[in-house]
Structure 1
Amino acid sequence: MSISIIIPVFNEASIIASLLTYLKQNSDKRNIKEIIVVDGGSTDQTITIAKESGAKVIQSVKGRSRQLNCGAKYAIGNILYFLHVDTLPPKNFDSSILSAVHANSQAGCFRMKFDTKNTFLSFFAWMTKLNFKICRGGDQSLFITKELFELTGGFNESYDVYEDNEFTDRLYEIIDFKILPRHVITSARRYEEIGTVKLQYYFGVMHFKNYTGAGPKKLHEYYLRKIAV
């Protein structure tokens, strides 16, 4: 079994090199088949830096769901590991993922911590230990066997936002989703820009809208009004 790491990016020249270096330093290269950076049309040096850092770079139409599916299409590992560019998985994350798959877990994620000591955010990060759909999010990263990914049809490209949640919601319906007892560290930058309580409220509204039948278009419109910066 081997892992293909898939990272969607757009104008991430300032942080892509540090992430790629971190991944190599904190995993066993025998377990990592490839690191795929899926670029959505960056106009900075993201592509050049990613290539110089040893990643395979694939060009895609912009949009995280489309970029993730594009990366999965070209991945050659048995396991796909979807990772946000501002999220750092735990040391030896590859061994944790492989152990879970060998124990018959077809998909799952890590728990999450923010790179801040903010008490409010720490509470919501603590909730990621709970194995409920409402507690999932793309910042927790996602591993899935390629076989299952292809069976599900992958990410729904109708979703310009909320694609991670829509996908994990479907996974919960067909498998026992695994929460690995270690933590990724993700950036709190967006919370600091918008306001921690305000942004968490907006995300809560998006969850409510989704569970009361709002489709991808309405979710995207709300995101553009309230969250996009």
Structure 2
Amino acid sequence: MNDHYSVLVNAGIVVVLSQDMAEQETRDVLQSLLFAQLVANKKYPGYALAPKWYDEYREVLKNAWLQKTVTWNNFSVDGTCYLNAAHWLGRCLGESVDRTTTDNVTVLLNRVAKLPGTLPAMEQLRGHTYKRRDSALPHVNDESTGRVNLQVVLAQPGPLLSSAYLSYETSQTDLSNPLEQCLSVANVVGNVQSRCFQAGLSNELYEPLRGAIVQKLGDRPAEHIFDISSSVEFDPSGATP
């Protein structure tokens, strides 16, 4: 199954790339996502401003990526831990992607969830997705230690982006691998926010921006983008990668 996909960590996003994409499409996807994240990081760093981060990230993308669909939801979790964050991201992605593709991506996300947190890619993912709360800041619930913002993006030829994003307050301090965390009342404080969108690249809008984005990124793609495809390959023996 994963022969059809590559899996990368792009700053704080797990990107699943269809391998039948053109080389330029792949570059445009990875550079667009990284640039939007870095702009949002600069404007809204840290825990206190975390709720505004996603909106800024989306505004940057909208300069060239035309929105096709968008959904959002708030939901609560119960005391029983059945599904980890990887499963929930896959479930949310299913709002804009067909069932077979959703199932395939969810399998890959669960393999990412099993990777050790000591891998450089996972250390970076954790650093971008978990914003620790400053204990000096007033908060309605002292159980929260910080906010987790997780996102998966499926990129397909076009290029077309399908994104699922989860954001929630957590009571946990040990988030070795954020995708592994079960979403239950033992870990989540309050409701979980989900946001999904699908957007296609407008070459007409992006062409004038491409050179400037590449220049502004400089060598940052080499620092922030990790190809972890080999770490989540299917093993016929059934062994965990």
- Same-fold status (TM-score > 0.5): no
Which one scores higher on RCO, CA 8 angstroms, separation ≥ 6? 2
Larger strand proportion, structure 1 or 2?
2
Larger helix proportion, structure 1 or 2?
1
